Amino acid sequence: MKNKTTSALIGAALLMAISAVGPGFLTQTTVFTNSLGASFGFVILVSILIDIGVQLNIWRIITVSERRAQDIANMVLPGLGGFISLLIILGGLAFNIGNVAGAGLGLEALFGMDVTIGAVLAALVAVTVFVNRQVGKAMDRFTQIMGGIMILAIIYITIVSAPPVGEAVLRTVVPLKIDFVAIITLVGGTVGGYITFAGGHRLIDAGIKGRAALPKVNRSAVMGISVASLVRICLFLASLGIISRGLLIDESNPTASVFQFAAGNFGYRLFGLVMFAAAVTSIIGSAYTSISFIKSFSTKIAKNENWIIIAFILISTTIFVVVGKPVNLLIIAGAINGIILPISLSVMLIASYTSAIVGEYKQPLPLTVIGVTIVLLMAFMSIRVIIDLF
């Protein structure tokens, strides 16, 4: 039983982490390093602290209430759970199209395979996880293996790129410039939309809930952020190593450019492996978490959850194959992601002080203060994004 619980806690952490580390995450990190240089370390540090604040608030409330986010939202205000679920599913579907495209690009770099064929194969790999009778165990094991491969490959590239670690450490504490938009983008990409609920919902499904489980849940939440942050830091250092040599990163495929400069053709193939691992695990995380937001609304949905998840993956893949990479849709999805976080975190903070939801539990005041600060900051930036888009 203890081994099963430990596996579920690690699985939840990795599900959250690999849900965050998708194609957009990889590209985003390289692009910001290219523009901010060593000072991007400060952005990463601030975003990590915010990410931990978000995850601890949300995971703890889900655990104590023993309910999924949509059910908590409906208890705060009837109908609110349905609204949040709609946002999560629309955002998850849009990003999953990008994940499918990223998986295709990864297999193209790795084997020279056609992008569309690669995307379809990646989708089929993801589908096999949910065909398995022991879905939870299969998902945990798959994410652990793929996450391990991805981290080892990125650490290797970081070492061979020989980054100026001393400068990176200095500018992490004393940046030459601060980019608040970059901070918001990183937070949205790591704990925005469906991502912030991936691990919490996985724990509920694994039966890990109640106040007694909070110490373990805290560790799992911090572990998830730590894994995602490790990948981010290594990519930052690898990119910084290339930039410090005066080499120009290809803007059309920045992360592939870094890997290729660092280790030649082998590095380019390794980029394909990392991109595929990041994308296919994000497909799984996005599909699983998106559908978890509607499973409690109907017994039929709960009974056929795996088949609905498979349909979600196949729909994402079909849209990519027919339409291609829908850039506008992904931009709108980014705006939705930014909107979801302050709304969902606000609901959770209100729930943490509603006795009908959490009983006698009291959320630690520092976590509440951190949560409110994040809500205000993300809400402001979300409004700015919406104004710019429309």
The structural architecture, per CATH, of the domain 2-389 is: Up-down Bundle (1.20)
Distance between CA atoms of residues 6 and 219, nearest Å = 11
Please tell me the predicted confidence (pLDDT) of residue 64: 95
CB 161 within 8 A of CB 241: yes
Distance between CA atoms of residues 187 and 43, nearest Å = 10
Query: Six-digit token pair at 359?
Result: 């009983």
The pTM (predicted TM-score) of the whole model is: 0.85
For 97-115, letters b (16+ CB in 10 Å) and e give bbbbbbbbbbbbbbeebeb
Q: For residue 162, which phi and psi values (nearest 5 degrees)?
A: 50, 65
Give the CA radius of gyration of the chain: 20
Angle between helices 135-160 and 254-292 (to 10 degrees): 160
CB 61 within 8 A of CB 306: no
> Amino acid identity, residue 167?
E
| Residues of the chain falling short of pLDDT 50 | 326-327, 331
